[in-house]
């Protein structure tokens, strides 16, 4: 469809109460440029030409660095997949809202989602953004008090305030949206693996940096772990240990970092945390117990020029570009 053609052609952007049952998931309606993939081997069985196992860590070899690494916006540009999955999930959640949404409007929504991606902390928020964009365009389906006249820039600047307002006015709950977003992604992955994988991409050089690193590496992400693991294996070609992926449900990132630094095997290591969200790094700075962490904001992820400039004025945070990232992981 037009939205997917847009994704394939556009350049990379600069820089989830009890779950209620939803209706049946729609058949995959998007077609993404084919991606060369092996079939997924059974658990514990290496496929022919399969993903490369992680190299021995520097700690095991007498090294001294530990890296906690965000996933989306650091390794993986998942905005195409998350935006398309959000449209699918939003259609299931609020079918009456999407009765008048045609292909052209879906294309407009996906385009705006690329611009709005920096405000997303957890995947389910994509669904709320998708519905908000529809309410901005179609007054007859409007149920929120904030949509009338709301601009994209105002969303970027005020999302932390808009989010709880929308959740309240639409009578939504976080866990229900998280569950739906995960099920839609699972359905897409199961029925169209190459299409799901192909809607993602790794930033240039990051997969190689991961493969070649001898440091102690952990993924610390708000993405559900199974999706991060699938992308690492099928797109980056790395069998990254699942026990080293701290995904959605493992606790706030500040708590994960504290757990990592307290592990006996990590004592004496130099600690590094690499993120693309300035707000997350600010939360780390607020915790005195995390003062030992060296903090980095990537220049290529889901953040804005204004945020990068703000980070540059904070002595605790180092800005890092792609070439330096590869050197840092050693």
Alpha carbon of 286 to those of 14, 205, 315: distances in Å?
28, 32, 14
User: Would you call 190 helix, strand, or coil by DSSP?
Assistant: helix
Neighbours of 28 (CB within 10 A): 16
- Check if the beta carbon of residue 56 is closer than 8 Å to that of residue 214: yes
Q: What is the model's pLDDT at position 329?
A: 86
Q: What is the model's pLDDT at position 98?
A: 94
> Exposure string (b/e) for 210-246, b if CB count within 10 Å is 16 or more?
bbebbbbbbbbbbbbbbbbbbbbbbbbbbebeeebbb
- Residues 6 or more apart from 122 whose CB is under 8 A from it? 16, 178, 222, 248
Q: What CATH number was assigned to the domain covering residues 52-76+202-329?
A: 3.40.50.1000
Please write the tens of the pLDDT for every residue from 221-260: 999 999 999 999 999 999 999 999 999 999 999 999 999 9
Q: What is the model's pLDDT at position 51?
A: 54
Give the chain's mean pLDDT. 85
Q: What is the model's pLDDT at position 78?
A: 95
> Exposure string (b/e) for 61-73, b if CB count within 10 Å is 16 or more?
eebebbbbbbbbb
Tell me the sheet residues that pair with 246.
220
Q: Domain ranges in the chain?
A: 52-76+202-329, 79-193
Please write the tens of the pLDDT for every residue from 10-55: 334 444 443 333 333 333 333 333 333 333 333 333 333 345 554 4
- Rounded to two decimals, what is the model's pTM? 0.78
Please write the tens of the pLDDT for every residue from 97-153: 999 999 999 999 999 999 999 999 999 999 999 999 999 999 999 999 999 999 999
Q: What is the DSSP letter of 55?
A: P
């Amino acid at each position: 469809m037009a939205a997917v053609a847009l994704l394939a052609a556009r350049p990379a952007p600069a820089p989830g109460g009890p779950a209620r049952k939803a209706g049946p998931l729609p058949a995959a309606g998007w077609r993404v440029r084919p991606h060369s993939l092996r079939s997924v081997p059974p658990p514990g069985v290496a496929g022919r030409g399969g993903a490369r196992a992680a190299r021995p860590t520097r700690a095991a070899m007498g090294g001294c660095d530990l890296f906690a690494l965000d996933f989306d916006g650091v390794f993986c540009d998942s905005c195409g997949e998350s935006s398309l999955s959000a449209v699918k999930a939003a259609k299931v959640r609020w079918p009456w809202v999407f009765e008048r949404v045609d292909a052209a409007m879906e294309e407009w929504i996906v385009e705006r989602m690329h611009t709005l991606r920096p405000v997303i902390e957890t995947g389910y928020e994509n669904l709320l953004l998708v519905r908000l964009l529809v309410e901005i365009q179609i007054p007859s389906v409007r149920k929120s008090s904030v949509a009338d006249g709301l601009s994209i820039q105002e969303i970027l600047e005020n999302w932390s305030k808009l989010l709880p307002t929308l959740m309240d006015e639409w009578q939504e709950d976080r866990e229900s949206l998280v569950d739906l977003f995960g099920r839609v992604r699972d359905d897409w992955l199961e029925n169209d693996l190459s299409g799901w994988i192909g809607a993602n991409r790794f930033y240039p050089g990051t997969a190689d940096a991961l493969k070649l690193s001898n440091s102690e590496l952990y993924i610390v992400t708000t993405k559900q772990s199974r999706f991060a693991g699938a992308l690492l294996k099928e797109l980056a070609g790395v069998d990254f240990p699942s026990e080293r992926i701290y995904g959605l449900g493992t606790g706030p990132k500040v708590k994960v970092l504290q757990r990592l630094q307290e592990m006996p095997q990590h004592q004496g290591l130099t600690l590094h945390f690499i993120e693309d969200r300035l707000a997350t790094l600010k939360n780390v700075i607020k915790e005195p117990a995390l003062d030992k962490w060296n903090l980095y904001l990537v220049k290529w992820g889901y953040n804005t020029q204004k945020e990068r400039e703000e980070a540059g004025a904070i002595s605790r945070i180092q800005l890092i570009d792609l070439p330096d990232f590869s050197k840092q992981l050693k």
